[in-house]
Amino acid sequence: MKRGKVEPVEAHLVLADGTVFAGEMMGATPEEGFVTGEVVFNTVLSGYQEVVTDPSYAGQIITFTYPHIGNYGVNPDDNESSQPFCRGVVVRELSRRHSNWRATQSLDQMLTSRGISGISGIDTRRLTRHIRNLGAMPGAFGTADIEELKVAAANEPGTDKIDLVKTVTCSETYRVASTGGERKIVAYDFGIKSTILENLSELGEVIVVPADTTAEVVLEMEPDGVFLSNGPGDPEPLGYARENIKKILGEVPIFGICLGHQLLAETLGAKIFKLPFGHHGGNHPVRNLKTGTVEITSQNHNYCVAEGSIEDVEVTHVNLNDGTVAGINCLTVPAFSVQYHPEAGPGPHDSRYLFKKFEHLLDPSNKQEIPDA
């Protein structure tokens, strides 16, 4: 029997300022006729599955600037979390068929099975230019009429001053077995990625704890070091995390990535500000100020550490696109962090040395110079 052609379902994306984009539905059908979230854009050329399953996108609608998405399908090994937490996905053209020996599903099938809605056929170049000019903003998309979408977009609060970490963190402590090292590392799960856990497990056993786990409970585990993970949204509401970090500082070495970097910096006294449209992509050049080398990095964040707002800390890395702080090292206690994702591989492995740097700090008897490249 010949399969009938599936007719596309007309849909629209409407931004909070009233701008309208026409497209077609893909993925899961939204129950209310629309979904809402903060609309951002990501410039990766590949790695769409890792982006969609990154918990740091909670509360956001991801626009892919690359025009053709889904050509190599998806597979369970490349998921960065057990489920996607993004609100939706926007693409110019969804691949009609995928081809890769590792693929088990199409991107459209994965989105549908995970309850994530998407919209294709969007002029993503126009949308990206709009966000670059006016900044990331709330939006709504779906099959509802345009006036209803306008109201939904206007009522969407976005990500400012909202604790999104509590929507992505684990509900209970779990362990990841060592794949090589003998250390014990406690990792705060603010939205931790699977690839980060793979890298940490090479240093030793990793004990992953919920975001609100107290410092006392963590220190009772007698870890060799504490890791502060990536995560979604605004760090301002996360006072509980800063309070725990404050108590851990100086007790054991600390390494932070992305949101963990912002929380460490805030705990040390830094000011945080929101970037106009954030850094979302796999091609951000970052200069290591000690070695002078440039790393090609993966980034996903809307907030940033203000330079010069913190004492007893040296800036170690700078984003060359806009000069913002991309890494810090504390001068009084063993703690450092970066605003990008060294576990990702766009360089392909330009930044993996940071895990070696953390390993160095885990050994208090190590007198050698800490590796910076």
* CA angle at 291 for the pair 312 and 185, rounded to the nearest 5°: 60
Tell me how far apart the alpha carbons of residues 229 and 351 are, in angstroms, rounded to a whole number.
16
Q: Is the pLDDT of residue 220 over 70?
A: yes
In sequence order, what are the residues at sequence separation of 6 or more whose Cβ sits closer than 8 angstroms to the Cβ of residue 360? Answer: 366, 368, 370, 371
User: Residue 45 corresponds to which tokens in the numbers above?
Assistant: 């050329």
pLDDT band at residue 371 under the 50/70/90 scheme: low
Mean pLDDT of the 129-133 span = 97
- 3-class DSSP state for residue 145? coil
- φ, ψ for residue 280, nearest 5 deg: -140, 100
Q: What percent of the chain has pLDDT over 90?
A: 89
Q: What percent of the chain has pLDDT over 70?
A: 96
Q: Which of 237, 90, 262 is nearest to 161 (CA)?
A: 237
User: Residue 158 corresponds to which tokens in the numbers above?
Assistant: 């976005």
Query: pLDDT value at position 346?
Result: 73
Q: Is the pLDDT of residue 5 over 70?
A: no
Query: pLDDT value at position 369?
Result: 53
What are the residue ranges of helices labelled H in the chain?
Answer: 48-52, 107-113, 124-134, 146-155, 194-201, 215-220, 239-248, 259-267, 353-362
Residue ranges of domains in the chain: 10-155, 165-362
pTM confidence score: 0.95
Its CATH class, for the domain covering 10-155, is alpha beta
155 burial class (0-12, 13-18, 19+ CB within 10 angstroms)?
exposed
Q: Is the pLDDT of residue 3 over 60?
A: no
pLDDT band at residue 7 under the 50/70/90 scheme: confident
CATH code: domain 165-362 is 3.40.50.880
Q: Is the pLDDT of residue 364 over 90?
A: no
Tell me how far apart the alpha carbons of residues 152 and 215 are, in angstroms, rounded to a whole number.
40
Indicate which residues carry an active-site annotation: 258, 341, 343
Q: pLDDT tens digits for 306-363?
A: 988 888 899 999 999 999 999 999 999 999 999 999 998 776 788 899 999 999 999 8
Q: pLDDT tens digits for 276-290?
A: 999 999 999 999 999
Tell me how far apart the alpha carbons of residues 91 and 77 are, in angstroms, rounded to a whole number.
23
- 3-class DSSP state for residue 322? coil
Q: pLDDT tens digits for 30-70?
A: 989 999 999 999 999 999 999 999 999 999 999 999 999 99
Mean pLDDT of the 158-170 span = 97
